[in-house]
Amino acid sequence: FEIVGAPIFNEANDLKGAVLVFHDITELKRLEQMRKDFVANVSHELKTPITSIRGFAETLLEDDMVNEEIRNQFLTIILTESERLQALVYDLLELSKLEKDELRLNYETIHINELLVGILTIVEQQAQKKQINFTTTIEEDSKIRADRDRLKQIFINLISNAINYTPVGGKVDLGVHITKDSIEIVVSDTGIGIPEEFKDRIFERFYRVDRARSRNTGGTGLGLAIVKHIVEAHRGSIKVESKVDKGTIFRVNLPKSFLD
């Protein structure tokens, strides 16, 4: 609690009493702590690739004995780490835009099937690379009022995660179910699953169940935070069901249209 006090005097200037105001600042403190953690996390996430890029570049410049094979290895690391930085900066900007202009989405009428063509090309390639059996269960075409790029992001982030957290040879399915007023997107996988106690936390910025594994997949730790923001900005909902070592199902429900 934060307490602010002030004395009360009557007309003759005699002290009559006092007013005490109690402010519950638990929520403020929590928000302030979250902000501090976020800044610390961003700094850490940026520092790691920068240190590595710098180290490998310096070695290449200083050591002219480096052979062709090692040179290529170092350059590949520099490239991968630069890509990680780029993805991180892109996701950070996206998240900050969503937080600021949540209500300024670019609504258009979108045909789901047409939107999916581009998305499937991207994710099918990812799945193939990892020998994941990717299937779709799409009932029929439907129209939805939504922000095109943001809607795409929901599909791509959820399907990429499903591929990333499923071992080679596993299965990932995208389902799109249409009801009168809403569209349900279901992404299911036969992957590593999420322990019950982490199911709510995975939507927090930079929260990862297994830090090392997530870094190896090239994830920024912001994907689900972004998805949740987009879903809520469209007044939809997102739920997750999961069993460790069996698989995970993400369900997104979006209203087809509403007053902007």
Residues that bind ligand ADP (CB under 6 A): 161-162, 165, 189, 191-194, 202, 207-210, 214, 219-225, 248
Residue 112: CB minimum distance to ligand ADP, A: 22
Q: In the complex, what is the shortest distance from the CB of residue 247 to ligand ADP, in angstroms, rounded to a whole number? A: 8
Q: What are phi and psi of 240, to 5 degrees?
A: -130, 135
**Number of alpha carbons in the 13 Å side-chain half-sphere of residue 45:** 27
Residue nearer to ligand ADP on the CB measure, 174 or 225: 225
Beta carbon nearer to ligand ADP, 146 or 162 = 162
Residue whose CB is less far from ligand ADP, 123 or 222: 222
| Least gap, CB of 226 to ligand ADP (angstroms) | 8
Residue type, 34: M
* For ligand ADP, the closer CB: 120 or 209: 209
What are phi and psi for residue 145, nearest 5 degrees?
A: -90, 115
Residue placing its CB nearer to ligand ADP in the complex, 92 or 225: 225
**Residues 110-130: b if buried by 16+ CB within 10 A, e if exposed:** bebeebbeebbeebeebbeeb
Report the residue number whose CB is nearest to ligand ADP. Answer: 219
Residues listed for the chain: 260
CA distance 204 to 217: 18
Q: How far is the CB of 202 from ligand ADP (least distance, A)?
A: 4
* Helix intervals (H) in the chain: 26-62, 68-100, 112-129, 148-164, 211-216, 223-233
Pairing of strands 133-138, 143-147: unpaired
CB of 164 to ligand ADP, least distance (A): 6
The number of angstroms, rounded, from the C-alpha of 138 to the middle of its chain's C-alpha atoms is 24
| Residue 49 or 223 with smaller CB distance to ligand ADP | 223
> Who's near 203: CB < 8 A, 6+ residues apart?
224, 225, 227, 228, 238
Smallest distance from ligand ADP to CB 240, Å: 8
